[in-house]
Structure 1
Amino acid sequence: MADEETQSTFAKITGLVVAGAVAWIAGKAVDAAWKAASGHKPPKPEDDDDPRVAEVVAAAAITAAAVTVARVFATRGTKKFVERVDRNRRLPKA
């Protein structure tokens, strides 16, 4: 029972850290790509200037898509990693 709880806690913590890091990296990648393509940073809610609605919608859609795809791959990879760690912990000691 304790092993299952430890694995579950380990999986949750690892998944949270990896998903957060991957989402941050994806956001930074979108910012860099947007700046390279348009010459300026994507619009943010706290910007003083008044960006066009189409630009705001495009930036939001691209960022959301990139972050979602990155999180899916990170979650799958983390699940495989945790399963491998758990499987190695259960191997009999020689």
Structure 2
Amino acid sequence: MGGGNMLYIQLGIMAVVVYFFMIRPQQKRAKNEKEFESNLKVGDKIVTKSGFHGKVSEITENSTAIIIETMAGKLKIERSAISLEMSAALNKKA
């Protein structure tokens, strides 16, 4: 009878460990990514997840897509396709 209770305690501890080491960091990362996407503004230098470097030239009306200016022209991409803002990264080093 005592062994059954111990099993439930161990399962509970495992659930807490999984939450703090897997679920919570993923939620925090998603929150930071969403905040990053919402703070983009015209003139920011960015890098997309596919490797394109460019500068934000326009934010569309519905705010789900942006237009970036590259050396080859202008591209319309989704906000979720942006991986890094170069303006902030360059300012941190200085």
Q: Same fold (TM over 0.5)?
A: no
Normalised by the length of structure 1, the TM-score is 0.38
Higher radius of gyration, 1 or 2: 2
More helix by share: 1
TM-score (norm 2): 0.38
Q: Which has the higher strand share?
A: 2
Determine which structure has greater relative contact order: mean sequence separation of CA pairs < 8 Å that are 6+ residues apart, divided by chain length: 1
